Structure 1
């Protein structure tokens, strides 16, 4: 980026209308696309919603850039067999509970794009519903650039921090934070300083853009606070030289070549921009009487569907929190539910699993497939002293969708899949005694 902006800076607030400029006077006044822009810049609008969307859901930003995006070569297809987009005949919906160890770190130089591996998909990217769930492992900063035309990317680092350089500025994202890159925004994912390898999770949201969930009876405060979301300040790169720009479009990867960096936006204003969020700032609302609350109470972001109350995809976390329920079973109870759940663990231990679910790993419980605490956790929780307990060393998350997840062959057949996951419940035995109420 431009040497005047060596350290990322941010604007606060969720999907605010932001005005940001790296050079004084670069933003025009009173007219978005004047006859002549300051500094000889080009005006370009990036739109993330239908033009006729209601004002509260209309997403767009004006970019004032050194060269317009049309200055590029023709796109050519590029092979990437481990990145799969819905729908595809090779993906299968499976009622079996599944679990995976962490994706192994690469031994050969691998950047963020090459390190992506799809676990499951649902919906239809062209129909703008559903999502893809991927894991990534990389040991090299991207030299090329990238945008996704099929969906927005929710990136959840687990191991190693990332520096995500975007058209609108720079996001530094550590483990325990998330970043969202809107559909169509150009970016470059690099390893943070001192990081030799990184790993994490990605939700590729084909549906409605993520938004904050309604609070309802919770009231005005709680869950994720809008002011804790950070959007980058403008920073530009005026760097000639041939570079590659990758595009995810209609389920395929494409490449075009440019004679300059595509991160050449000197100023921008609007409400369609990348953002980051520190999960430690989530205000957990938990039970103080009895029963484990439904996971919806931990929702950070939601992508609504056309059915009210049925999310296309929810992003839910299980952060450090007090467990203070009275005279009750505290881990999640055994359950079967309409929503399908993909879970990951960022660090620590998840309170419903004793072993096998480790940081960087993942589990999948599709709709109506039974799941809950394993046998060891059930036995321990059933006899535990019921006193206030603070769960400090934990941060798990869930991508929860109304659509069943279809696993792809690379995930079903992976060496890091745990084939014996269902056995964690095999020692649960009957305690029934008709003579003992």
Structure 2
């Protein structure tokens, strides 16, 4: 598990087979008349057939039974609160904060049951937009698997580790790590006890590493630190339920065998994980707080150069050495939407009220910035080199789209902090007119 490297850029192909079946990968041909061990060849395409070579994504799977062997899909009724009806709730432009989301205690809830949509924009039917979810669960999926036909899932565990089984193999993903399950890949999540985290779902395309520009060849997330699973299979003849997220709704099918029966695979369309502590932070060494774009781990670009459908940005432990400047994030209005979550510790600009497992949303052109306590401390502190965000990890899902909050997130979860605006009300008037010159 997690021994091979995966680069998030395009064009790198990998090949792996379960050591229990040496020679399972066919030689010289993707789809021979007869595959080794009596396996079926099946291609999973993550791009159009005619996409340019540098953006063409596909993987060949060699499995015990083809994925088509299942009963018809039917509507799946669950306790989750998934939504893609962005017009159901009246728009809310206010600064929004949620206290840490509750994890089920008495009733069993697995990863699928525990999905909750917070906000989003766009439409899975036209393949444009995104959705932001949280998951809260306390049990494993067992003989259930999930497939997302709508887009890619970037999963950020906050409390509790995830044992993720995919068609490609297994990944263990703990807090301060992320994993990406790309469109169409089947997976299940096993947990031990109360578990919580965040999900960024994108409909348009796939996540890639951001361009480095003037930074040069090195920095931010290095390709060598992304890991993909090695082939692993189970040959189980038992009833499995496969849940399919399609056009924003859930459907289920039953099959009489495990969906995780891929003995070998090769290609460049794979799930992957990344350890956030390996991020190489770039920061100012002179004056002024840099834009948060310098902390981008992954991006899903739009068709407009320099504009993202979604960026995944982190704020890791680092040194602050800026001189003669206000060091925390500046007061700001933005043409982007900013959704923040906290994995651990305290965020430098919101040390009170913004807890691990909670979230904030600052919508397009709604002002935001450090609270009153942070402003006071930052303007009075001695500007000597100091550590920032030790024992902490905050992140941001940033988007060029205007995000709508779901009815559950605003009215149904009982975690909305309706006093959030008060954290700025104590900001004093310090203007002194001509006497201050």
Give TM class, smaller chain: over 0.9
Q: Structure 2 CA distance, aligned partners of 1:129 and 1:228?
A: 29
Q: Could you list the runs of 5+ residues in structure 2 that have no partner in the other structure?
A: none
Q: 2:305 aligns with which of 283, 304, 308?
A: 308
Is the 8 Å Cα contact of residues 132 and 203 (structure 1) preserved in structure 2?
yes
Does residue 248 in structure 1 map to residue 245 in structure 2? yes
Q: Is 2:5 aligned against 1:12? A: yes
Q: What SS does structure 1 have at the residue aligned with 2:112?
A: coil
3-state secondary structure, aligned to 1:381: helix
How far did residue 428 of structure 1 move?
A: 1.0
In the TM superposition, residue 84 of structure 1 has moved relative to its aligned partner by 3.3
Q: Does 1:386 find its partner at 2:379?
A: no
SS of 1:378 mapped into structure 2 = helix
1:79, distance to aligned residue in structure 2 (A): 2.5
Post-superposition offset of 1:429:
2.1
Rounded to whole Å, the distance in 2 between the matches of 1:298 and 1:332 is 13
- Give 3-state SS (helix, strand or coil) of 2:69's partner: coil
The answer as to 2:422 corresponding to 1:423 is yes
- Alpha-carbon deviations, 1:143-197, whole Å to 9, x = none? 2111100111100000010000000000100100000000000001011xxx311
C-alpha spacing 1:288/1:79, structure 2 compared with 1 (3 Å): same
**Which residue in the other structure is 2:277 paired with?**
280
**Alignment match, 1:5:** none
**Residue by residue, what CA displacement relative to the aligned partner does 1:321-378 show, whole Å, maximum 9, x if unpaired?**
1011012111101000111000000001100013000111100001100000001110
- The CA distance in 2 between the partners of 1:214 and 1:238, in whole Å, is 42
In structure 1, C-alpha distance between the alignment counterparts of 2:188 and 2:82, rounded to whole Å: 20
Q: Which residue of 1 aligns with 2:40?
A: 42
Count residues with an aligned counterpart. 427
- Cα pair 1:93 1:405 within 8 Å, conserved: no
1:134 maps to which residue?
Answer: 133
- Using the alignment, how far apart are the partners of 1:274 and 1:37 within structure 2? 24
- Give matches, 1:31-430, under 5 Å: 31-80=29-78, 82-107=80-105, 108-143=107-142, 144-191=144-191, 195-391=192-388, 392-413=390-411, 414-430=413-429
**SS of residue matched to 2:256:** strand
Write the distance in 2 (CA, Å) between the matches of 1:368 and 1:67: 52
Native 8 Å contact 1:91 1:121 kept in 2: no
Q: Secondary structure at the match of 1:410?
A: helix
CA distance in 1, matches of 2:79, 2:89: 13
Residues 208 and 85 of structure 1, relative CA distance in 2, 3 Å threshold:
farther
TM-score (norm 2): 0.96
Match of 1:240, SS? coil
CA distance in structure 2 between the aligned counterparts of 1:203 and 1:9, rounded to whole angstroms:
23
1:87 deviates by 4.5
Gaps of 5+ in 1: 1-7
Alpha-carbon distance in structure 1 between the residues aligned to 2:229 and 2:147? 17
CA distance in 2 between counterparts of 1:399 and 1:422 reads 21
Following superposition, the deviation at residue 80 of structure 1 comes to: 4.1
Which secondary structure does the structure 1 equivalent of 2:239 belong to?
Answer: strand
Counterparts of 1:43 and 1:430 in 2: how far apart (Å)? 70
Deviates more, 1:132-141 or 1:73-82: 73-82
2:83/2:406 contact within 8 Å kept:
no
SS class of match (1:89): coil
SS, match of residue 390 in structure 1: strand
**CA shift at 1:121, angstroms?**
1.0
* 8 Å contact from structure 1 (residues 85, 125) kept in 2: no
- Are the equivalent residues in 1 in contact too, given 2:81–2:408 (CA < 8 A)? no
Quote the Cα distance in structure 1 between the aligned partners of 2:420 and 2:373. Answer: 14
Secondary structure of 1:223's counterpart equals coil
Given the superposition, is the C-alpha separation of residues 145 and 82 from structure 1 closer, same or farther in structure 2, using an over 3 Å criterion?
closer
Counterparts of 1:253 and 1:185, CA distance in 2 = 15
What is the Cα-based RMSD across aligned positions, in Å? 1.1
3-state SS, counterpart of residue 201 of structure 1: strand
* CA gap 1:242/1:138 in 2 versus in 1, 3 angstroms: same
Q: How far, CA to CA, are the matches of 2:228 and 2:90 in structure 1?
A: 37
